[in-house]
């Protein structure tokens, strides 16, 4: 659903600034709660139905084209470009690499913490 012409951006009510990122998403959720009531289930998220993307150059968080849904529905609504961008993001914890200083093994930081660093079997005890 492409609807750039009739989207309504989330704006700061005091400054009139167009909100992006987390603050824009909070504002969109607030508008959705005012329009449709509380979330219908415990882990419901505010889904954006339009292709307007706050990460685009002139994009913003749309408050008009929202509905309640699950996080997986929200993920499948993303364009293939956005899915690829979020998967390759340097802030993605699954992509952060770490190297054990004791044995030199490199791998995903979250997994390496279980068996390496202070727990590495090649760590020499220093008294």
Same domain, 100 and 127: yes
Q: What is the pLDDT of residue 53?
A: 66
Same domain, 79 and 94: no
Same domain, 41 and 63: yes
Q: Residue 97's domain spans which residues? A: 90-127
Domain count, the chain: 2
Q: Which of 50, 70, 68, 45 is nearest to 9 (CA)?
A: 50
Q: What is the pLDDT of residue 105?
A: 92
| % helix, strand, coil for the chain, step of 5 | 35, 15, 50
Same domain, 14 and 27: yes
Q: What is the pLDDT of residue 54?
A: 65
Query: What is the rounded average pLDDT for all residues in the chain?
Result: 80
pLDDT tens digit sequence for 10-64: 888 888 888 877 788 888 888 889 999 999 999 998 888 877 666 666 667 788 8
C-alpha distances out from residue 4 to 20, 43, 52, 118, Å? 16, 28, 6, 52
DSSP letter (8 states) at residue 67: E
The Cα–Cα gap between 6 and 29 comes to 18
């Amino acid at each position: 659903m492409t609807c750039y012409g009739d989207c309504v951006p989330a704006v700061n009510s005091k400054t009139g600034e167009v909100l992006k990122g987390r603050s824009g998403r909070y504002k969109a959720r607030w508008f959705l709660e005012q329009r449709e009531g509380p979330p219908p289930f415990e882990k419901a998220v505010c889904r954006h139905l339009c292709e307007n993307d706050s990460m685009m150059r002139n994009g913003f968080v749309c408050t008009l084209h929202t509905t309640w849904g699950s996080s997986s529905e929200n993920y499948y609504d993303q364009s293939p470009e956005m899915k690829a961008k979020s998967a390759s993001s340097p802030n993605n914890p699954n992509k952060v690499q770490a190297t054990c200083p004791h044995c030199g093994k490199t791998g995903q930081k979250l997994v390496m913490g279980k068996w390496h660093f202070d727990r590495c079997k090649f760590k020499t005890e220093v008294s």
